[in-house]
Amino acid sequence: MSDTYQIDEAEAPQTEVLPLDAWHRARGGRMVEFAGYWMPVQYEGILAEHLWTRDSAGLFDVSHMGQLFVSGEHVEAALEAVLPIDLETLKPFAPRYSMLLNEDGGILDDLMVTRWNSGFYLVVNGATKWDDIGHLREHLPDEVTLSHLDDNALLALQGPKAAAALERLVTGEFPLSALTFMKGGQFKLAGVDAWISRSGYTGEDGFEIAIPAENAAEIADQLCAQPEVKPIGLGARDSLRLEAGLPLYGHDLSEKISPVEADLLFAVNPRRRREGGFIGAARVLAELANGTPRKRIGLALEGRQAAREGAEIFAGDQVVGVVTSGGFSPSLNHPIAMGYVAQAHAAIGTELSIDVRGKRLPARAVSMPFVPHRYHR
């Protein structure tokens, strides 16, 4: 579990309450401060919740995420000026991963963007959403409107049995089964209007579900009434995404790290790599041409002791990098981590070591994901 969640409730009196706060507490959720909100870190235990999600279906409350809608005249060109995405190739109702960059090519946030009928729907990280809104309003022209959909809640239903559970509650113009990975649509969920995309942050098949905040508890009850579904906390969300090799903003990604260093070039579409024309393009194109001094890699550790964020990575007696996320993998039964190392030591199979409390733990550079993705394609 990430140290991010080790915050006592008494230490964070200014945190905000999300629509499902009482719902989580009534079900025994242990609440902690995260990204300025009270959220459940666990219910029955991180290990049990992790394995349940891998085997069945877990319900995650991600209502802290920012949901935005961008519309208006020439909105496509305006968004392309701030995102390194090729919106010409973005089909309707098909979410795609992208990011906001600063002028120096560092990552301000990673996000999902979807073309809707009259504009673009963005989902941004909760910890950065107010800065994201400010950045977008600063750089989008006056004729483009940015709306914060703060009356929405957002749920994620993840796991191999998520589709079976959700399908019982959903009606729409086409069946839920017609959605494949990174496709979405408008549905009725237990009679409530819902935007549902087949996507998520665990490496499993699953769905992200945007609904009116006023209906969040009712929908969560309906979902958890299905025998395959249990509520899951932030702790298991963190260990699941780490096994899936997915970066967490503020840890594996930051405004000092570029998409090239982060090994996220799939988010910079080929036309944008050739033409640039987006904020931060100068650094990204230069690194594409000349390479970068460091790279994000996966690390497998021997033994049972986990390496945490900030631990130094060694090649022999030389410090060559730093861990940005780490923990024990319940699925693999050994510790894993990701971090940044000098390019000379980034090749798969490179033998390294990690300093944990003054002890060097043997580690090896490995490919990610650590656990194979099981998306429904």
- The answer to whether the CB of 183 falls within 8 A of the CB of 94 is yes
Calpha distance 71→211 (Å, rounded) = 20
φ, ψ at 23 (rounded to 5°): -60, -45
The radius of gyration of the chain from alpha carbons, rounded to an integer in Å, stands at 21
Element (H, E) at 325: strand 318-329
Question: Could you tell me the pLDDT band of residue 264, with boundaries at 50, 70 and 90?
Answer: very high
Residue closest to 166 by CA, chosen among 238, 236, 222, 92: 222
For the chain, give the percent of residues with pLDDT over 90.
95
User: Can you give the pLDDT at residue 2?
Assistant: 35
* Token pair of 228 as six digits: 């395959």
User: Can you give the pLDDT at residue 15?
Assistant: 76
Task: Record the pTM.
Answer: 0.94
User: Can you give the pLDDT at residue 16?
Assistant: 84
User: Can you give the pLDDT at residue 8?
Assistant: 36
Residue closest to 206 by CA, chosen among 246, 161, 244: 161
